[in-house]
Structure 1
Amino acid sequence: MTEIEYKDIHEFKKEDLQDLFLSVEWSSGHFPEKLQIAMRNFETVISAWDGDKLVGMICAMDDGIMTAYIHYLLVMSDYQDKGIGKELVYRVKEIYNDYLRIVVVGYDEEVGFYESCGFEKAEDASPLFITDLWT
C-alpha cells in the first residue's frame, strides 16, 4: 500500500464507486449511475485513494450553519484498521468545526468506531428509516 491521498472531489467513475460500495456489501453499489449523481449533489465529499484506486470516502450534507449529517463513510475491507476512516472523519470535523453538531447514524457494530472519533450515542433517540418506499 502506498501513501493514501485524500481528495475533495465530486466526480467519480461509476466503476470506482461500484467497486468501493460493493467491497463492503452496500447495496448502493448496484446503482453506480445514481451514486455518481449523489456524489455531485453532496455538499462535502472526501475520498481516499491508493494510487488510482478509490479505497474510502465520506460524504456529508448540511443546513449551511447548524447541523451536518454524515451520510456515507466506507473504507474497503483490505484498507480498514489503517486509520483511513478516522482521517476521513477528522477532515469532516474540520470542515464543520463551527457547526453546533455533526450527526451520524451508526449500526450497532460501528458505534465503538464512532465513539473513538468523538461521537456520543444518544440515550433518548433512535434512528428511524423508510427503506422500501413502494410497499
Structure 2
Amino acid sequence: MIEYRRCREFTEEQLGGLFRSVGWYSGRFPERLKKAMGNSSRVISAWDGERLVGLIRGLDDGVWQASIDCLLVDPEYQGRKIASALLEMLLEDYRELLYVDVVPDEKRNVGFYLKHGFEVMEEGTAMQIRGKGWD
C-alpha cells in the first residue's frame, strides 16, 4: 500500500535513487537534491514502506503563482496512478492561487497534464539554462 507524506526530510540515498531511477541528471547530485527539497514550498512524496517511490515539488509565492518543478515516480511503480494522486494533492494545496504552471520535461507527458486540467499556453515557450556549477 502506498502512503503519501507531506515532508521535506529525505536521505541523500532516497532522493538520489528516485531521481536516478527515472534517468534525471539531477540524481547525480543527491546532496543538492536534499537541500533543494528542504528549501521548497511544497513537497509531497509517495512511499512503499521506507522506500521513496514518488515525489512532487511545488514552488510558490503563497499568493499569486506556483510552479510544479518536478513530478516523478520510480518506473517499478508507474501505472498505479501515483503521479495522479501526487498532482491532485498539490493542486488542492494551490486551489486559491491564480496560476499553477508546469513545463513537462518530456513531450510525452503533456497528455498527462492535459488530462488533469492544464492547458497549453498559446503564446508561451519554455526556456532553460543550466548553471555552470553543475558540470
Q: State how far apart, in whole Å, the 2-side matches of 1:86 and 1:101 are.
A: 19
Code of the residue aligned with 1:72 in structure 2: it is C
Greater mean alpha carbon deviation, residues 31-40 or residues 122-131: 122-131
1:59-107: CA deviation from partner (whole Å, max 9, x where unpaired): 0010110101000100011111111000000001110000011100012
| Structure 2 match to 1:128 | 127
| Structure 2 match to 1:94 | 92
Q: State how far apart, in whole Å, the 2-side matches of 1:120 and 1:76 are.
A: 26
Give the % identical residues.
44
Task: Work out whether 1:105 is the aligned partner of 2:103.
Answer: yes
C-alpha deviation, 1:11, in angstroms: 0.9
| Structure 2 match to 1:69 | 67
Code of the residue aligned with 2:29 in structure 1: it is F
| Structure 1 match to 2:114 | 115
C-alpha deviation, 1:133, in angstroms: 3.8
C-alpha deviation, 1:51, in angstroms: 0.7
Unaligned runs of 5+ in 1: none
Q: 1:33 aligns with which of 31, 39, 46?
A: 31
Q: 2:50 aligns with which of 33, 49, 52?
A: 52
Q: State how far apart, in whole Å, the 2-side matches of 1:79 and 1:118 are.
A: 23
Aligned residues: 133
Code of the residue aligned with 1:119 in structure 2: it is F
| Structure 2 match to 1:13 | 11
Q: 1:80 aligns with which of 78, 81, 85?
A: 78
C-alpha deviation, 1:117, in angstroms: 1.3
Q: State how far apart, in whole Å, the 2-side matches of 1:23 and 1:61 are.
A: 23
Code of the residue aligned with 2:121 in structure 1: it is A
Code of the residue aligned with 2:40 in structure 1: it is F
C-alpha deviation, 1:123, in angstroms: 1.6
Give TM-score scaled by structure 1 length.
Answer: 0.94
Give TM-score scaled by structure 2 length.
Answer: 0.94
